[in-house]
Amino acid sequence: MQKRIWLMLLALVVVVIVGSRSIAFNSFFLPRPASEIVEKIPAKQAQPQPPALEITPQVSAENLLNHIQQLNFQRYTTAERSRTRTYITTQLKKFGWKPQLEKFAEGVNIFAERLGTDKTAGTILVGAHYDTVASSPGADDNGTGVAVVLEVARLLGSQSTPRTLQLAFFDKEEAGLLGSKAFAAKAQRLENLSGVIVMDMVGYACYTPGCQQYPPGLPVSPPSDKGDFLAVVGDTEHLPLLSAFQNPQPANLPAVLTVPIPLKGLLTPDTLRSDHAPFWYQGIGAVLVTDTANLRTPHYHQSSDQPSTIERSFFAGAAQIVVNTTSALLQKSDSLATKTSL
Protein backbone atom coordinates (compact mmCIF):
# COMPACT_ATOMS: atom_id res chain seq x y z
CA MET A 1 0.00 0.00 0.00
CA GLN A 2 2.75 2.39 0.96
CA LYS A 3 4.57 1.51 -2.22
CA ARG A 4 1.47 2.45 -4.28
CA ILE A 5 1.11 5.72 -2.57
CA TRP A 6 4.77 6.58 -3.30
CA LEU A 7 4.34 5.62 -6.94
CA MET A 8 1.27 7.88 -7.26
CA LEU A 9 3.11 10.80 -5.68
CA LEU A 10 6.05 10.27 -8.02
CA ALA A 11 3.75 10.30 -11.05
CA LEU A 12 2.10 13.57 -9.84
CA VAL A 13 5.48 15.27 -9.48
CA VAL A 14 6.44 14.27 -13.02
CA VAL A 15 3.17 15.69 -14.40
CA VAL A 16 3.68 19.01 -12.57
CA ILE A 17 7.28 19.39 -13.83
CA VAL A 18 6.44 18.55 -17.42
CA GLY A 19 3.42 20.85 -17.37
CA SER A 20 5.39 23.80 -16.05
CA ARG A 21 8.06 23.33 -18.74
CA SER A 22 5.38 23.20 -21.41
CA ILE A 23 3.88 26.48 -20.22
CA ALA A 24 7.30 28.14 -20.22
CA PHE A 25 8.13 26.79 -23.68
CA ASN A 26 4.82 27.92 -25.17
CA SER A 27 5.04 31.37 -23.61
CA PHE A 28 8.30 32.02 -25.52
CA PHE A 29 6.34 31.98 -28.79
CA LEU A 30 3.50 34.19 -27.60
CA PRO A 31 3.37 37.49 -29.53
CA ARG A 32 5.22 40.30 -27.83
CA PRO A 33 3.45 43.59 -27.18
CA ALA A 34 3.65 45.94 -30.15
CA SER A 35 5.24 48.61 -28.02
CA GLU A 36 8.29 46.43 -27.42
CA ILE A 37 8.78 45.90 -31.17
CA VAL A 38 8.47 49.61 -31.94
CA GLU A 39 11.12 50.40 -29.38
CA LYS A 40 13.59 48.04 -31.02
CA ILE A 41 13.13 49.37 -34.60
CA PRO A 42 14.13 53.04 -35.07
CA ALA A 43 11.59 55.15 -36.95
CA LYS A 44 12.58 55.87 -40.56
CA GLN A 45 12.94 59.58 -41.22
CA ALA A 46 11.00 60.99 -44.19
CA GLN A 47 13.39 62.04 -46.93
CA PRO A 48 12.85 65.56 -48.33
CA GLN A 49 11.76 65.51 -51.95
CA PRO A 50 13.76 67.59 -54.44
CA PRO A 51 11.86 70.67 -55.63
CA ALA A 52 10.09 70.34 -58.95
CA LEU A 53 12.06 71.84 -61.81
CA GLU A 54 10.58 75.02 -63.23
CA ILE A 55 10.20 74.73 -66.96
CA THR A 56 10.12 78.10 -68.69
CA PRO A 57 7.51 78.24 -71.47
CA GLN A 58 8.98 78.20 -74.95
CA VAL A 59 8.29 80.97 -77.44
CA SER A 60 6.71 80.27 -80.79
CA ALA A 61 8.69 81.65 -83.74
CA GLU A 62 5.53 81.28 -85.81
CA ASN A 63 3.55 83.49 -83.43
CA LEU A 64 6.31 86.09 -83.29
CA LEU A 65 6.61 86.34 -87.07
CA ASN A 66 2.84 86.39 -87.50
CA HIS A 67 2.64 89.49 -85.27
CA ILE A 68 5.28 91.14 -87.47
CA GLN A 69 3.28 90.33 -90.61
CA GLN A 70 0.04 91.62 -89.09
CA LEU A 71 1.77 94.88 -88.16
CA ASN A 72 3.53 95.26 -91.50
CA PHE A 73 2.38 98.80 -92.19
CA GLN A 74 3.43 102.33 -91.29
CA ARG A 75 2.21 103.14 -87.75
CA TYR A 76 2.63 106.88 -87.84
CA THR A 77 -0.69 108.64 -88.41
CA THR A 78 -3.54 108.75 -85.89
CA ALA A 79 -5.55 106.22 -87.90
CA GLU A 80 -2.58 103.87 -88.32
CA ARG A 81 -1.79 103.92 -84.62
CA SER A 82 -5.45 103.32 -83.79
CA ARG A 83 -5.41 100.28 -86.09
CA THR A 84 -2.30 99.05 -84.27
CA ARG A 85 -3.96 99.44 -80.87
CA THR A 86 -6.94 97.43 -82.10
CA TYR A 87 -4.65 94.57 -83.07
CA ILE A 88 -2.72 94.65 -79.78
CA THR A 89 -5.79 94.83 -77.55
CA THR A 90 -7.51 92.06 -79.50
CA GLN A 91 -4.50 89.80 -78.97
CA LEU A 92 -4.31 90.63 -75.27
CA LYS A 93 -7.98 89.82 -74.76
CA LYS A 94 -7.48 86.51 -76.56
CA PHE A 95 -4.74 85.70 -74.03
CA GLY A 96 -7.04 86.52 -71.10
CA TRP A 97 -5.83 90.05 -70.32
CA LYS A 98 -7.96 93.16 -69.77
CA PRO A 99 -6.12 95.95 -71.59
CA GLN A 100 -6.71 99.60 -70.78
CA LEU A 101 -6.20 102.56 -73.10
CA GLU A 102 -4.44 105.43 -71.35
CA LYS A 103 -4.64 108.70 -73.22
CA PHE A 104 -2.12 111.50 -72.89
CA ALA A 105 -1.82 114.79 -74.75
CA GLU A 106 -0.13 113.42 -77.88
CA GLY A 107 -1.25 109.79 -78.01
CA VAL A 108 -2.53 106.64 -76.32
CA ASN A 109 -0.65 104.00 -74.34
CA ILE A 110 -1.92 100.47 -73.74
CA PHE A 111 -1.64 98.99 -70.25
CA ALA A 112 -2.51 95.58 -68.78
CA GLU A 113 -1.84 93.88 -65.47
CA ARG A 114 -1.84 90.39 -63.95
CA LEU A 115 -1.63 90.50 -60.16
CA GLY A 116 0.92 88.48 -58.24
CA THR A 117 0.30 86.43 -55.11
CA ASP A 118 2.44 88.61 -52.82
CA LYS A 119 1.62 92.30 -52.64
CA THR A 120 4.98 93.03 -51.05
CA ALA A 121 7.00 91.28 -53.79
CA GLY A 122 6.75 94.16 -56.27
CA THR A 123 6.02 94.37 -59.99
CA ILE A 124 7.87 93.73 -63.24
CA LEU A 125 6.79 95.85 -66.21
CA VAL A 126 7.51 94.61 -69.75
CA GLY A 127 7.04 97.15 -72.52
CA ALA A 128 7.73 98.31 -76.08
CA HIS A 129 6.70 101.21 -78.30
CA TYR A 130 4.28 100.47 -81.15
CA ASP A 131 4.59 103.56 -83.34
CA THR A 132 6.95 104.08 -86.30
CA VAL A 133 8.52 106.96 -88.14
CA ALA A 134 6.86 108.07 -91.36
CA SER A 135 7.42 105.92 -94.46
CA SER A 136 8.65 102.88 -92.54
CA PRO A 137 6.69 99.69 -91.76
CA GLY A 138 8.97 99.19 -88.75
CA ALA A 139 9.31 95.41 -88.79
CA ASP A 140 12.34 95.57 -86.50
CA ASP A 141 11.58 99.06 -85.16
CA ASN A 142 9.50 98.14 -83.32
CA GLY A 143 7.30 95.34 -84.54
CA THR A 144 9.77 92.93 -82.95
CA GLY A 145 9.42 94.58 -79.55
CA VAL A 146 5.62 94.53 -79.73
CA ALA A 147 5.69 90.87 -80.76
CA VAL A 148 7.88 89.91 -77.80
CA VAL A 149 5.60 91.67 -75.31
CA LEU A 150 2.62 89.85 -76.82
CA GLU A 151 4.48 86.55 -76.48
CA VAL A 152 5.22 87.36 -72.84
CA ALA A 153 1.49 88.03 -72.42
CA ARG A 154 0.61 84.67 -73.96
CA LEU A 155 3.16 82.59 -72.05
CA LEU A 156 3.25 84.22 -68.62
CA GLY A 157 -0.21 85.72 -68.27
CA SER A 158 -1.75 82.68 -66.59
CA GLN A 159 1.21 81.85 -64.35
CA SER A 160 0.90 82.31 -60.62
CA THR A 161 3.94 84.22 -59.35
CA PRO A 162 4.80 86.28 -56.26
CA ARG A 163 5.42 89.38 -58.34
CA THR A 164 2.83 91.18 -60.42
CA LEU A 165 3.34 91.28 -64.19
CA GLN A 166 2.46 94.47 -66.07
CA LEU A 167 2.53 95.13 -69.81
CA ALA A 168 2.83 98.48 -71.56
CA PHE A 169 2.75 99.44 -75.24
CA PHE A 170 4.00 103.00 -75.58
CA ASP A 171 2.83 105.46 -78.20
CA LYS A 172 4.88 108.26 -79.76
CA GLU A 173 8.33 106.96 -78.87
CA GLU A 174 9.63 108.18 -82.21
CA ALA A 175 8.44 111.70 -81.38
CA GLY A 176 10.63 111.89 -78.28
CA LEU A 177 9.65 109.11 -75.86
CA LEU A 178 6.33 110.87 -75.27
CA GLY A 179 4.35 107.78 -74.32
CA SER A 180 6.82 106.43 -71.78
CA LYS A 181 7.35 109.91 -70.34
CA ALA A 182 3.59 110.24 -69.80
CA PHE A 183 3.47 106.76 -68.25
CA ALA A 184 6.41 107.36 -65.90
CA ALA A 185 4.99 110.73 -64.83
CA LYS A 186 2.04 108.97 -63.16
CA ALA A 187 2.84 108.23 -59.52
CA GLN A 188 0.22 105.47 -59.53
CA ARG A 189 2.12 103.57 -62.22
CA LEU A 190 5.38 103.73 -60.27
CA GLU A 191 3.96 102.34 -57.02
CA ASN A 192 5.45 98.97 -56.13
CA LEU A 193 7.35 98.90 -59.45
CA SER A 194 10.50 96.80 -59.00
CA GLY A 195 11.90 96.83 -62.52
CA VAL A 196 11.15 97.57 -66.17
CA ILE A 197 12.17 95.59 -69.27
CA VAL A 198 11.88 97.53 -72.53
CA MET A 199 12.34 95.97 -75.97
CA ASP A 200 13.30 98.21 -78.87
CA MET A 201 14.46 96.40 -82.02
CA VAL A 202 15.38 92.78 -81.22
CA GLY A 203 15.19 91.07 -84.61
CA TYR A 204 18.23 91.96 -86.71
CA ALA A 205 21.58 90.17 -86.74
CA CYS A 206 24.62 90.36 -89.01
CA TYR A 207 27.49 87.91 -89.19
CA THR A 208 30.14 89.57 -91.34
CA PRO A 209 33.19 91.17 -89.70
CA GLY A 210 32.79 94.91 -89.24
CA CYS A 211 28.98 94.98 -89.48
CA GLN A 212 28.62 95.95 -85.80
CA GLN A 213 29.40 99.47 -84.60
CA TYR A 214 29.63 100.81 -81.04
CA PRO A 215 28.91 104.23 -79.51
CA PRO A 216 31.78 106.21 -77.99
CA GLY A 217 32.35 105.94 -74.26
CA LEU A 218 30.98 102.41 -73.92
CA PRO A 219 31.89 101.15 -70.40
CA VAL A 220 32.49 97.57 -71.56
CA SER A 221 34.79 95.97 -74.10
CA PRO A 222 32.99 95.03 -77.33
CA PRO A 223 32.87 91.25 -77.69
CA SER A 224 33.06 91.24 -81.47
CA ASP A 225 32.69 93.31 -84.61
CA LYS A 226 29.87 90.98 -85.66
CA GLY A 227 26.27 91.77 -84.79
CA ASP A 228 25.31 88.38 -83.43
CA PHE A 229 24.60 89.27 -79.78
CA LEU A 230 21.71 90.77 -77.84
CA ALA A 231 22.55 93.94 -75.91
CA VAL A 232 20.96 94.71 -72.54
CA VAL A 233 21.56 98.24 -71.24
CA GLY A 234 20.87 99.07 -67.59
CA ASP A 235 21.72 101.71 -65.01
CA THR A 236 24.36 100.98 -62.38
CA GLU A 237 21.90 101.81 -59.60
CA HIS A 238 19.99 98.60 -60.38
CA LEU A 239 22.64 96.04 -61.27
CA PRO A 240 20.64 93.00 -60.03
CA LEU A 241 18.08 93.73 -62.75
CA LEU A 242 20.81 93.90 -65.37
CA SER A 243 22.59 90.81 -64.08
CA ALA A 244 19.35 88.81 -64.33
CA PHE A 245 20.09 88.65 -68.06
CA GLN A 246 23.51 87.13 -67.34
CA ASN A 247 22.01 83.87 -66.07
CA PRO A 248 23.20 80.89 -68.13
CA GLN A 249 21.19 80.56 -71.33
CA PRO A 250 20.92 77.52 -73.59
CA ALA A 251 23.66 77.34 -76.21
CA ASN A 252 21.18 77.82 -79.05
CA LEU A 253 20.28 81.35 -77.88
CA PRO A 254 22.18 84.53 -78.80
CA ALA A 255 24.99 85.71 -76.58
CA VAL A 256 24.02 88.55 -74.23
CA LEU A 257 26.14 91.68 -73.75
CA THR A 258 25.12 93.52 -70.57
CA VAL A 259 26.09 97.19 -70.48
CA PRO A 260 26.00 98.97 -67.09
CA ILE A 261 25.55 102.71 -67.56
CA PRO A 262 26.66 105.11 -64.79
CA LEU A 263 25.18 108.52 -64.01
CA LYS A 264 21.89 107.67 -65.77
CA GLY A 265 23.54 108.00 -69.17
CA LEU A 266 24.91 111.51 -68.69
CA LEU A 267 28.19 110.53 -70.35
CA THR A 268 26.64 108.20 -72.93
CA PRO A 269 23.62 109.97 -74.45
CA ASP A 270 23.24 107.26 -77.10
CA THR A 271 21.96 105.00 -74.32
CA LEU A 272 19.01 107.31 -73.59
CA ARG A 273 17.19 106.97 -76.90
CA SER A 274 14.41 104.58 -75.88
CA ASP A 275 11.55 104.12 -73.43
CA HIS A 276 13.67 102.89 -70.51
CA ALA A 277 15.16 106.37 -70.01
CA PRO A 278 12.10 108.06 -68.40
CA PHE A 279 12.12 105.35 -65.73
CA TRP A 280 15.78 106.02 -64.96
CA TYR A 281 14.89 109.66 -64.34
CA GLN A 282 12.24 108.52 -61.84
CA GLY A 283 14.69 106.31 -59.96
CA ILE A 284 13.15 103.08 -61.26
CA GLY A 285 15.42 100.28 -62.46
CA ALA A 286 14.96 99.68 -66.19
CA VAL A 287 16.80 97.85 -68.94
CA LEU A 288 16.76 98.27 -72.70
CA VAL A 289 16.92 95.01 -74.66
CA THR A 290 18.05 95.69 -78.23
CA ASP A 291 19.90 94.53 -81.32
CA THR A 292 21.63 97.96 -81.11
CA ALA A 293 19.49 99.59 -83.84
CA ASN A 294 21.42 101.78 -86.29
CA LEU A 295 24.72 100.54 -84.86
CA ARG A 296 23.96 97.29 -86.68
CA THR A 297 21.05 97.40 -89.11
CA PRO A 298 21.10 99.41 -92.37
CA HIS A 299 17.28 99.42 -92.35
CA TYR A 300 16.89 101.71 -89.34
CA HIS A 301 14.07 104.21 -90.00
CA GLN A 302 13.94 103.15 -93.64
CA SER A 303 11.19 101.82 -95.90
CA SER A 304 13.33 98.69 -96.16
CA ASP A 305 12.60 97.76 -92.52
CA GLN A 306 10.48 94.84 -93.75
CA PRO A 307 9.62 91.42 -92.24
CA SER A 308 11.96 89.80 -94.76
CA THR A 309 14.96 91.45 -93.06
CA ILE A 310 14.23 89.85 -89.68
CA GLU A 311 16.71 87.11 -88.77
CA ARG A 312 14.30 84.41 -87.60
CA SER A 313 16.52 82.38 -85.26
CA PHE A 314 18.08 85.46 -83.65
CA PHE A 315 14.65 87.04 -83.13
CA ALA A 316 13.15 83.91 -81.57
CA GLY A 317 16.25 83.52 -79.40
CA ALA A 318 16.03 87.12 -78.20
CA ALA A 319 12.36 86.61 -77.33
CA GLN A 320 13.20 83.45 -75.39
CA ILE A 321 15.86 85.27 -73.38
CA VAL A 322 13.30 87.92 -72.42
CA VAL A 323 10.73 85.28 -71.45
CA ASN A 324 13.32 83.32 -69.44
CA THR A 325 14.49 86.40 -67.55
CA THR A 326 11.01 87.80 -66.96
CA SER A 327 9.79 84.45 -65.68
CA ALA A 328 12.71 84.19 -63.26
CA LEU A 329 12.24 87.76 -61.98
CA LEU A 330 8.53 87.18 -61.38
CA GLN A 331 9.35 84.26 -59.07
CA LYS A 332 11.49 86.41 -56.77
CA SER A 333 10.82 89.20 -54.31
CA ASP A 334 14.28 90.53 -53.49
CA SER A 335 15.27 94.09 -54.28
CA LEU A 336 16.67 94.90 -57.72
CA ALA A 337 18.55 97.95 -56.45
CA THR A 338 22.34 97.84 -56.24
CA LYS A 339 23.55 97.17 -52.71
CA THR A 340 25.85 99.86 -51.42
CA SER A 341 28.61 99.18 -48.90
CA LEU A 342 28.53 101.24 -45.73
Which of 274, 200, 199, 266 has the alpha carbon at shortest distance from 236?
Answer: 266
Residues 287 and 233: beta-carbon distance below 8 Å: yes
Helical segments of 71-177, H only = 78-94, 145-156
Residue 154: CB partners within 8 Å, gap ≥ 6?
A: 63, 95
pLDDT at 30: 36
**pLDDT tens, position by position, 261-280:** 999 999 999 999 999 999 99
pLDDT 10s digits, 92-146: 999 999 999 999 999 999 999 999 999 999 999 999 999 999 999 999 999 999 9
Task: Write the pLDDT tens digit of every residue in 5-25.
Answer: 444 444 444 433 444 444 333
Q: Per-residue confidence at 259, pLDDT binned at 50, 70, 90? A: very high
pTM of the model: 0.84
Environment class of residue 183 by beta-carbon count within 10 Å: exposed (0-12), middle (13-18) or buried (19+)?
buried
Instruction: Check pLDDT > 60 for residue 46.
Output: no
- Please compute the mean of the pLDDT values over residues 302-310 and round it to a whole number: 99
Q: 61-330 adopts what CATH topology? A: Aminopeptidase (3.40.630)
The string of pLDDT tens digits covering residues 194-243 is 999 999 999 999 999 999 999 888 888 888 899 999 999 999 999 999 99
Q: Where are the domains of the chain?
A: 61-330
Q: 100 near 169, Cβ under 8 Å?
A: no
51 has pLDDT over 80 = no
